[in-house]
């Protein structure tokens, strides 16, 4: 792997880690700007391969294989610039052309066997391989990863985890081979976040043994359904299920929407959502169901079932828990917030490393999941999806600024990615709504532990059982940089905010407010608490990754990155001063530590960026000799 890392990366890194020296006041003899490739020193302070192994966590060889499969095909829009080959979608194409290009790329990847085992394989190793390959596709193009994500993780995940043997036998292999194209129709024009409120209605006709699916009104049309506008043949349709006039809540059904020739099925109407600010390689559509009849067997019945005579059966009596079970397939979709913009995240190095360790930790939880861990996975994936995708947007803004005019050029992708990824704060669950899930779960945990007088266990809350940290009156650099101090400080914040949140909600309830209303009235503490939970969870995974290393340069550099992550998080959260966790003097000491850490990290920036393991072709001209790529000769 060519470890040359761009001069621009170094400039970008300078921009963040250490402001460029002010222009000299003395007139210098004029000379043209020249591009000096970054010092190609093989004397990096640590082993890049070892750092990459730590960061990627798994399936490095599979990732490199897929990188090569993509680079070698003309379908991925290879182009030469100043002597280098880059692969990048042509975002100047029309929406229709981008959609077709995405389909051709998927068909090529199917032919290359990329998806073998994705749904018929079993066990953690298979799932980790699938996640790794999906990350690589996300680094090429968001449309590609989203279109595949909807088909394999949402449609395929719903069939696999909400369906039973009948569904597995009928659909999994065809899905894996891309012989049928699935989509996932949960959201409606009137209900995206509020899944419980969806309006599609399904009833059961015991005379024919069929379900009847109906869109009762315009706000009930399925909306934003990825793959539905042009290509999907089948969908998971989420609907209220009425049995004998009684609503049993949201359930998931399989409905065919096109035949194998692409003709829309009877009683189905489909329209296009139209051009978007990004991800135009995905054909998002709208679906109306006009009393569509589907076989009784099309209910995904791992959670509940309906007998041929129309009796409703479910092992899960609690309506909330049944609802939760139907939402579980969404969780894997929320794993996709951390990787797509890695090519640009060299600016915010510490966050790229923090995200990698957290995402890897969550993936291991997910591939080893049990019914007992589903709730924790939901809460942690909600925290990471919101935190990562909000950070991605911030990173792209920072990156665009740092590149000046070159960040506006589409071929450098920075500006384009702002449109491509900004929407990630909405789909797969609106970030603010997902963050509410955290404060709700922590509230429930706190109340349960106090009511049953039992210690906290789970969601990383075990620290609540220990004595509180006493913050030294004067913070020194060694203290600030110690992982024990950092995690204790994050524990202090989370523990105090949880206590405050519970007290405030309880106070509102004592005044007669409902629990829902009390939560809404306490939304500021809820937001602070959810942030505290998320950042503490991320810091803990960073420390866990560090603890696997023997003493040495790699561990030292990671320690600097971890301290930078922790101190920037503290510096940027007003809670530390607002609620008195830090004195003004200590807050100032933390703030002053940030540029010091940047200065110590700067010599390692190129090595840290090189450790991402992203092939040169996946970057952009700005990452190399940007003077050459803008020279007259390269235009000819």
Sign of the C-alpha dihedral computed for residues 499, 501, 505 and 508 taken in this order? positive
The nearer residue to ligand FAD, 132 or 423, going by C-beta atoms, is 423
Q: Does 432 bind ligand FAD (CB under 6 A)?
A: yes
C-beta atoms surrounding 211 within 10 Å: 24
Q: Does 440 bind ligand FAD (CB under 6 A)?
A: no
From 614, 161, 154, select the one nearest 356 (Cα to Cα): 614
Among 187, 331, 395, 437, binds ligand FAD (CB under 6 A): 187
- Binding residues for ligand FAD, rule CB under 6 A, total 20
Please tell me the distance from the alpha carbon of residue 216 to that of residue 202, in angstroms, as a whole number.
10
Sign of the C-alpha dihedral computed for residues 107, 111, 113 and 119 taken in this order? positive
Among 120, 164, 193, 256, binds ligand FAD (CB under 6 A): 193
- Among the listed ranges 66-74, 220-228, 408-416, 549-557, the one in contact with ligand FAD (CB under 6 A) is 220-228
Query: Could you tell me if 614 and 1 are in contact, meaning their C-beta atoms sit under 8 angstroms apart?
Result: no
Residue corresponding to tokens 């499969």: 69
> Any known ligand binding at 113?
no
Q: Does 186 bind ligand FAD (CB under 6 A)?
A: yes
Longest dimension (CA), the chain: 92
Residues 6+ away with beta carbon under 8 Å from 484: none
Among 115, 366, 427, 576, binds ligand FAD (CB under 6 A): 427
Q: Of these partners, ligand LEDWP2DD, ligand FAD, none, which one is at the site of residue 323 (CB under 5 to 8 Å by kind)?
A: ligand LEDWP2DD
C-beta atoms surrounding 546 within 10 Å: 18
The nearer residue to ligand LEDWP2DD, 248 or 267, going by C-beta atoms, is 248
Dihedral of the CA atoms 344, 348, 354, 359 (nearest 10)?
-20
The nearer residue to ligand FAD, 163 or 226, going by C-beta atoms, is 226
Among 140, 184, 490, 626, binds ligand FAD (CB under 6 A): 184
Interface with ligand FAD in residues 269-328 (CB under 6 A):
276, 279, 284
- Interaction pattern, residues 121-150, with ligand FAD; x per rule: CB under 6 A: -----------------------------x
Min. distance of Cβ 258 from ligand LEDWP2DD in angstroms?
A: 19
Among 220, 429, 559, 615, binds ligand FAD (CB under 6 A): 429
Q: Does 492 bind ligand FAD (CB under 6 A)?
A: no
Per DSSP, the chain holds a count of helices (H) and strands (E) of: 24, 13
Please tell me the distance from the alpha carbon of residue 515 to that of residue 500, in angstroms, as a whole number.
16
Please tell me the distance from the alpha carbon of residue 533 to that of residue 81, in angstroms, as a whole number.
45
Min. distance of Cβ 480 from ligand LEDWP2DD in angstroms?
A: 33
Residues 6+ away with beta carbon under 8 Å from 496: 579, 581
Residues 6+ away with beta carbon under 8 Å from 342: 139, 352, 612, 614
Which tokens is 399 given? Answer: 């990156």
- Among the listed ranges 92-100, 422-430, 499-507, 509-517, the one in contact with ligand FAD (CB under 6 A) is 422-430
N-to-C CA span, the chain = 29
Which tokens is 207 given? Answer: 């005379």
User: Annotated catalytic sites, by residue?
Assistant: 428
- Among the listed ranges 113-121, 295-303, 429-437, 461-469, the one in contact with ligand FAD (CB under 6 A) is 429-437
C-beta atoms surrounding 472 within 10 Å: 11
From 553, 552, 563, 530, select the one nearest 607 (Cα to Cα): 553
Q: Does 18 bind ligand FAD (CB under 6 A)?
A: no
Q: What residue ranges bind ligand LEDWP2DD (CB under 6 A)?
A: 131, 134-135, 146, 149-150, 153-154, 184, 186-187, 193-196, 226, 320, 323-324, 327-328, 330-333, 335-336, 374-375, 378, 427-429, 433, 437, 440-441, 444
The nearer residue to ligand LEDWP2DD, 421 or 542, going by C-beta atoms, is 421
Please tell me the distance from the alpha carbon of residue 559 to that of residue 483, in angstroms, as a whole number.
8
Q: Does 482 bind ligand FAD (CB under 6 A)?
A: no
Binding residues for FAD, by number, are 226
Binding-site positions read 226
> Which residues contact ligand FAD by CB under 6 A?
150, 184-187, 192-193, 224-226, 276, 279, 284, 423, 426-427, 429-430, 432-433
């Amino acid at each position: 792997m060519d470890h040359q890392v761009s001069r621009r990366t170094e400039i970008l890194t300078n921009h963040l880690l250490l402001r460029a020296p002010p222009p000299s006041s003395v007139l210098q003899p004029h000379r043209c700007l020249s591009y000096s490739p970054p010092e190609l020193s093989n004397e990096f302070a640590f082993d890049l391969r070892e750092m990459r192994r730590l960061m990627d966590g798994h399936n490095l060889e599979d990732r490199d294989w897929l990188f090569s499969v993509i680079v070698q095909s003309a379908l991925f829009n290879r182009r030469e610039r100043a002597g280098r080959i880059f692969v990048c979608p042509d975002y100047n194409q029309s929406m229709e052309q981008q959609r077709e290009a995405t389909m051709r790329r998927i068909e090529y990847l199917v032919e290359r066997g990329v998806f073998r085992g994705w749904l018929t394989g079993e066990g953690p190793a298979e799932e980790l391989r699938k996640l790794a390959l999906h990350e690589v596709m996300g680094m090429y193009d968001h449309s590609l990863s989203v279109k595949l994500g909807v088909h394999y993780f949402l449609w395929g995940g719903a069939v696999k985890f909400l369906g039973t043997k009948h569904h597995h036998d009928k659909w999994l292999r065809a899905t894996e081979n891309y012989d049928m194209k699935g989509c996932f129709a949960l959201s409606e024009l009137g209900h995206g976040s509020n899944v419980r409120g969806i309006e599609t209605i399904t009833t059961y006709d015991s005379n024919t043994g069929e379900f009847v699916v109906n869109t009762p009104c315009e706000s009930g049309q399925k909306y934003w359904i990825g793959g539905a506008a042009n290509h999907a043949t089948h969908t998971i349709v989420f609907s209220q299920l009425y049995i004998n006039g009684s609503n049993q809540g949201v359930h998931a059904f399989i409905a065919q929407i096109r035949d194998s020739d692409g003709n829309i099925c009877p009683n189905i109407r489909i329209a296009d959502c139209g051009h978007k600010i990004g991800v135009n390689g995905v054909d998002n559509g709208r679906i109306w169901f006009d009393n569509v009849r589907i076989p009784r067997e099309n209910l995904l019945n791992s959670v509940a079932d309906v007998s041929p005579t129309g009796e409703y059966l479910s092992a899960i009596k609690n309506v909330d828990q049944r609802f939760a079970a139907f939402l579980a397939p969404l969780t894997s979709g929320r794993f996709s917030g951390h990787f797509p913009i890695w090519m640009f995240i060299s600016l915010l190095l510490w966050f790229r490393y923090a995200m990698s360790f957290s995402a890897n930790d969550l993936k291991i939880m997910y591939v080893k999941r049990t019914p007992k861990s589903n709730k924790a996975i939901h809460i942690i994936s909600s925290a990471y999806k919101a935190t990562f995708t909000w950070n991605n947007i911030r990173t792209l803004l920072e990156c665009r600024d740092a590149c000046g005019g070159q960040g506006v050029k589409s071929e450098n992708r920075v500006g384009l990615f702002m449109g491509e990824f900004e929407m990630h704060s909405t789909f797969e669950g609106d970030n603010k709504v997902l963050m509410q899930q955290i404060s709700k779960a922590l509230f429930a945990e706190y109340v349960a532990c106090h009511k049953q007088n039992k210690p906290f266990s789970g969601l990383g809350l075990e620290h609540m059982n220990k004595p509180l940290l006493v913050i030294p009156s004067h913070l020194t650099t060694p203290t600030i940089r110690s992982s024990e101090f950092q995690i204790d400080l994050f524990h202090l914040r989370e523990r105090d905010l949880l206590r405050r949140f519970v007290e405030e909600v309880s106070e509102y309830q004592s005044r007669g407010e409902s629990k829902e209303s009390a939560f809404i009235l306490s939304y500021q503490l809820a937001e602070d608490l959810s942030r505290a939970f998320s950042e503490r969870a991320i810091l803990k995974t960073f420390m866990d990754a560090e603890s696997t290393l023997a003493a040495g340069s790699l561990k030292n550099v990671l320690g600097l990155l971890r301290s930078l992550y922790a101190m920037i998080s503290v510096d940027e959260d007003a809670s530390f001063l607002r609620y008195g966790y830090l004195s003004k003097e200590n807050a100032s000491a933390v703030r002053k530590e940030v540029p010091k850490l940047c200065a110590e990290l700067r010599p390692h920036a190129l090595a840290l960026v090189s450790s991402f393991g992203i092939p040169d072709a996946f970057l952009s001209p700005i990452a190399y000799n940007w003077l050459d790529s803008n020279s007259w000769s390269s235009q000819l």
